[in-house]
Amino acid sequence: MGVSVKRIVVTGMGIVSPLGCGVQHVWQSLLAGKSGITRLSEQLVADIPAKWPAVPSIDSDPLHGFDPLATIPAKERKRWIALLSLRWSPRAKRWPEPVGRQHLRPNRNALPR
């Protein structure tokens, strides 16, 4: 049984990250000690067993092209904003109460009889 050797050709490199866009810019940022993550506050991660809870940095870099809004579709952003406004977390035991539920009248039917 022989070893199959396949040749590949690297024609270029690119990177899109929270540190910016472009290999040279990102490499220089790393050498300068910049970080592409943001540590989360203790309040946000109190129930998550992580030593260094963090997320990718969402700071825009207009000079080098990183746009955090381009990485998450608008529809998905709206869903997460709605969940955040309810103070819901994925680890919650149950869903939060629906907004406006106190205004519902359970003894009324939606359709006429």
Going by C-alpha positions, the residue among 26, 23, 29 that lies closest to residue 10 is 23
Across the range 5-18, mean pLDDT stands at 86
pLDDT at 2 over 60: yes
**Residue 28: per-residue pLDDT:** 92
**Residue 49: per-residue pLDDT:** 78
**Residue 72: per-residue pLDDT:** 73
Q: What is the pLDDT of residues 15-39, one digit of tens each?
A: 888 887 889 988 998 999 988 888 8
Q: Domain extents for the chain?
A: 16-103
Average pLDDT, the chain: 73
**Residue 16: per-residue pLDDT:** 80
* Residue that has been written with the tokens 């540190």 in this structure: 19
List b or e across 56-89, with b for residues whose CB sees 16 or more CB atoms inside 10 angstroms: ebeeebeebebeeeeeeeeeeeeeeeeeeeeeee
pTM reported for the whole predicted model? 0.42
Q: What is the pLDDT of residues 55-71, one digit of tens each?
A: 777 665 555 555 666 66
